[in-house]
Amino acid sequence: MEAVPMRLRFRGVDSPFPLSVIRGRLRLSGLPDIQVSDIVQDVVSKLSSTVNPTEETLLNLVRNSLESCNNSIRDTFETLTKYEEMRRVSHEMPPIIVVLEGASANGKSIIALELVHDLVATRFISSDTVRQVLRSTLNEEEYPELYCHTYQAHLHRQTGPEDLDPVVRGYLAQCEIITPQITNMTERILSEGASGVVEGVHIIPGELQKLSPGVIEVLIHPNDETHKTMFLNKHITGKLRTVSEDIETREREYEGTRAIQRYMMKLSQDANLSIVEMNNFDEATTAISKIIVATIRKLVAEYEGASK
C-alpha cells in the first residue's frame, strides 16, 4: 500500500500526526501486530478521502474498526484515549513512566524498546548510558568501581550492610554514584509531563515509584536456568565486546549477577512492586502492558472521582 501523508486538523490548521500514537494505543489495548497493521491501513485509506479530518475523525474510524473485537479491547482503547484527553486538560494527571529493573542480562533492555513504541514515549533512560556519561566526568583513579560491570565493582569498592554478599555491596557502591542521576532525570521527565521508559540495574527497587503515581516499577525476573543461559550467551546474542568470551569466567560472573538479582527481588517484594517472570519476551511484554493499563485505569478512576 502506498504511503499516505498523515495530517489532521488542529485548531483550524493542518498538522502532521504520528500514526505511532494509534499503533501504540492499539497494541496496549491487546491487539496483535498484524491486526494493528490492518486497522491502521484501513483507517489511513478512509482518511485519505476525508476533507479536513480531525483527531476525532481518526478515533471514530478506529472505533468502527474495533467493532468486531471483544469488549475488553474496545474498553481498554477507550480508557487509554480518555487518559490522554485528561492529560491535555489537567496537569494533575501524571505521565506514565515505566521503570524496568533487574540484574544484567535479564531481558529488560529489549522489553524497554518494545514499550517505547507502545507508549510512544519520547524519553528513554538507560542506566548503562548514565554510567558511561559519568565515566567522562569522573576519573578511574578516584572512582574505579564505576569503570567495570556491576558484578565486578566489589573488587574496587563496597558499601552497605556488611552482612550482604560482597558482590551486592559492590553493586551498591556503583548505585551510590549512578542512582541519584537517574532519579534526577526521572524527576525532570515528570516535570515536563512526558511519557518515558527507564531501564537498568542501577535502580534501587521501590525508590522511583515514590516520585509519582504515574511511575510504574517492574522487576524482570527470569528463573535461574533462563537467566544463566541469557547471561552466558550475551557475548553471542548481544554482540557485546565488553564481556568475556571465556565460559569459566562468565560462569563465575553469573553467580555474582544472580546474587544481585536475588537482592533486587527481596527489595521488590518489600516494596510491593510488580514482578514479571521472564520466560520469553512476548509474554513478559504482554504482562507489563497489562500492568500499565491497570495503572491508567486507576488514574482515570481517581481523577473522575476527584472531579465529581
**pLDDT: is 70 or 240 the higher one?**
70
| 289 domain-assigned | yes
In a domain, 2, yes or no: no
pLDDT of residue 271: 98
Are 57 and 123 in a shared domain? no
Q: Is residue 99 within 8 Å of 199, Cβ to Cβ?
A: yes
Q: Residue 48's pLDDT is what?
A: 84
Asked if residue 1 is part of any domain, the answer here is: no
Query: pLDDT for 73-98, tens place per residue?
Result: 999 999 999 999 999 999 999 999 99
Cα separations (Å) of 302 from 84, 172, 218, 298? Answer: 15, 36, 22, 6
Does residue 200 sit within a domain? yes
Does 75 map to a domain? Answer: yes
Highest mean pLDDT, choosing among 175-189, 227-241, 245-259? 175-189
Nearest-angstrom CA–CA distance, 225 and 209 = 30
Residues 236-248: tens digit of each pLDDT: 665 566 666 777 8
Which of 89, 119, 148 represents a domain boundary (last residue)? 89
Residue 108 sits in which domain range? 97-307
Question: pTM for the complete prediction?
Answer: 0.93
Structurally, how many domains does the chain consist of? 2
> Which helix (H) or strand (E) segment is 221 a member of?
strand 215-221
Domain CATH number, residue 150:
3.40.50.300
Whether 134 and 34 map to the same domain: the answer is: no
Residues 78 and 147 in one domain: no
The answer on 225 and 154 residing in a single domain is yes
Determine the average pLDDT of the residues in 113-118.
97
> Can you give the pLDDT at residue 66?
97
